[in-house]
Structure 1
Amino acid sequence: MPTPAFEDIAQTFDFLDDWEERYRHLIELGRAMPPLDPAFQVPATKVDGCASQVWILPRLEEDRFDFQGESDAMIVRGLIAVLHALYAGLPPDEVGKVDAQAALARLGLDEHLSAQRSNGVRAMIGRIRQLAADAD
């Protein structure tokens, strides 16, 4: 079940007319995220399999999964923000049950990302799922 934060993003994407506007919105989502402290941008938090530099730092707050993310690419920061909206606040054991590919398809991202970016998104999803499983 998508989170309210993800539903907000999906509704905004439905409202926007073209992909140029959607990409701009994706970049704005990334800009709105708090930055990850450079002290946490280390090999232990780096996501392998992404063309861009990506770091994900998990947190468990009141038995709810959360994470911070960072990337050196603005669109990828936006993708991290979308994944954050999809997963943050869920119990750790629910994270692996989310059909992220279907959610991203709902936004049309499956059709509008390059193959390299799509591979990076899959790597981020895999890392998030593993971090949540480890936190459970």
Structure 2
Amino acid sequence: MSHPFGTTITATTVIETMSGFTSWEDRYRQVIMWGKLLPKMDEALKQEQLLVAGCESKVWLASEFDGEYWHFQADSDARIVRGLIALVLAAFHHQTSEHIQQFDTDAYFAQLGLIDHLSPSRGNGLRAIVEQIKQVSR
């Protein structure tokens, strides 16, 4: 499974990019843009058992472990959610189980200044995606 963006967008580059914006609108636009860069998931993978519970829009998450690193593919039917997925994959894709378990998602999202601007259900959905990735990689 190749990197979801073709290039490597890491949690660090995400934080650096987002900290350059002063307005929520600019951050929102950037999140949408990252969502557009996220490759479309193969329709054959969009199965019931890959749906993430707790998301108001449909989110599919597929994972693969190569013996050292985890690789994730995810997609959603909502534009902003695709962007949020891109942010999550920046932190977790092609990482070890240990990295994934130790990654401080709350601090990451706090640095991005996003959670306060998301609806409660979007915020919960975001946490559900992270939780599923952490469970899978245990």
**Which residue number corresponds to residue 68 of structure 1?**
73
- Identical aligned residues as a percent: 36
Map of 1:93 onto structure 2: 98
> Where in structure 2 are there 5+ consecutive unaligned residues?
1-7
Structure 1 position 62, deviation (Å): 5.1
Task: Provide the TM-score with structure 1 as the length reference.
Answer: 0.91
Q: Deviations over 1:18-45 (max 9, x none)?
A: 1111111000101101111011011111
Say if 1:56 and 1:91 are closer, same or farther in 2 by CA, change over 3 A: same
- State the TM-score, normalized to the length of structure 2: 0.89
Task: State the superposition RMSD in angstroms.
Answer: 1.5
Which structure has the highest helix share of the two? 1
Kindly indicate whether the alpha-carbon contact (under 8 Å) linking 1:59 and 1:67 is maintained by their aligned counterparts in 2: yes
Pick the aligned partner of 1:7 from 4, 12, 21.
Answer: 12
How far the C-alpha of 1:6 sits from its partner, in A, is: 1.0
The reply on whether 1:32 has 2:52 as its aligned counterpart is no
Instruction: Give CA-to-partner distance per residue, 1:87-110, whole Å, 9 cap, x none.
Output: 112112331211111101110112
Runs (4+) off by over 3 Å: none
More displaced, 71-80 or 89-98?
A: 89-98
The number of residues matched between the two structures is 131
Q: Which amino acid aligns with 1:50?
A: C
Alpha-carbon separation, structure 1, partners of 2:40 and 2:136:
20
Give the corresponding residue for 1:131: 136
Distance 2:34 2:64 in 1: 20
The structural deviation recorded for 1:48 is 0.5
Q: Which runs of 5+ in 1 are unaligned?
A: none
Distance 2:26 2:98 in 1: 35
The alpha-carbon distance between structure 1 residues 24 and 4, as it changes in their structure 2 partners (threshold 3 A), is closer
